[in-house]
Amino acid sequence: MKKIKTLLCGTNYGSVYLRYLAGLEEFSFNYILSRGSSRSLDISNRLSIKSYTNIENVEKDIELSVIAVDEINALTIAKTLINNGSSILIEHPVSHKGFLSLYRHAQEANAILHINSHFRYTKAVSNFISNIKNEKSTPVFVNASCSSRTLFSTIDILRSCFGKVNFEEVKIESDDKVTHAMLKFNNSNVIINFLHSELGDDNGQDVYIGHSINVHYEKSQSSLHDTWGCVVRSKTPKLNSLESLISIQDSAIDYNEILKSRDHAILKSLKNIYSSIIYKEDIKEQSFEHLHDTTKLYSIIRDKNAP
């Protein structure tokens, strides 16, 4: 199996990738690019890999760069590394404008660009997406809610479930804390009530953030109860009957199971970009069409600015 030379930029959020980049046979973890913190230096010393603080000094033989820094720096760093011949996995969401610019840059350099969508690979979310895709009925209406930190990934989930976004029918209402968006997806022709709540500072604890989506059909309902929760399918009860439950797919809520699910999701993201680089495999959720809609809707709701 071919190993690809890999760089990690950002050892704070990027720390979730360390065990896989250092341990998987697909990757040769060679470099760290950071601000030179004691944490980054300790990692480079323990793993005996090179550490850089200036991107201009980084080697030109990198095949994959995992970038886990803020959006402005991520876009600048990514373009430089693409020029050096590297493909890119960006950990954090980027704006629509940033995505289009970076995508064109990657296309011109024949590089692969992925934007991390690892939440979709957790047990609960992947079960939910599968249920919606296998549903033969057309939704009557959908309610979705999320926090600021899960805005991008919630949109990613909805795009996978319901297809292309009809941007001509996006309506936005907002105040200081909550943005309410009414959306229509072409494949479902259903209005989605989307609540995006800005709940204080981001403390990095992604175990406690959420995705909540309820899809109502004429005779049933499918619900995603939080990122690490359960997926419930139920039917509209008959008259004078309380019988409604079809199935519950439980994630066995305990801290170890949550971490295991998150680790599986990160591993899946890395395996996907490896397959794209080595085998030229097309990953549907990383296609231009999917990321175009996801980043555009993300920017609209985040900036509270309907087209």
- pLDDT tens for residues 153-164? 999 999 999 999
Q: Do both 238 and 112 map to the same domain?
A: no
pTM: 0.91
Domain termination residue (choose one: 73, 94, 116): 116
Distance CA 68, CA 75 (A): 11
Q: Do both 145 and 228 map to the same domain?
A: yes
Strands (E), the chain: 4-9, 27-33, 50-52, 64-67, 87-90, 113-115, 141-147, 171-174, 178-185, 190-197, 211-216, 220-225, 231-235, 245-249
**150: CATH:** 3.30.360.10
> Predicted confidence band at 253 (pLDDT cuts at 50, 70, 90)?
low
Buried b (16+ CB within 10 A) or exposed e, 250-266: ebeeeeeebeebbeebb
Domain termination residue (choose one: 116, 145, 178): 116
Q: Do both 123 and 257 map to the same domain?
A: yes
Q: Do both 111 and 147 map to the same domain?
A: no
H/E stretch holding 122 reads: none
pLDDT given for residue 252 in this prediction: 53
pLDDT given for residue 207 in this prediction: 44
What domain range is 147 assigned to?
119-262+296-302
Q: Do both 94 and 168 map to the same domain?
A: no
pLDDT in tens, 174-187: 877 788 888 888 76
Domain termination residue (choose one: 71, 101, 116): 116
**37: CATH:** 3.40.50.720
Q: Do both 166 and 256 map to the same domain?
A: yes
∠ CA 86-92-94, nearest 5°, is 85
Q: Do both 26 and 141 map to the same domain?
A: no
Residue 269 included in any domain: no
Residue 289 included in any domain: no
Residue type, 146: C
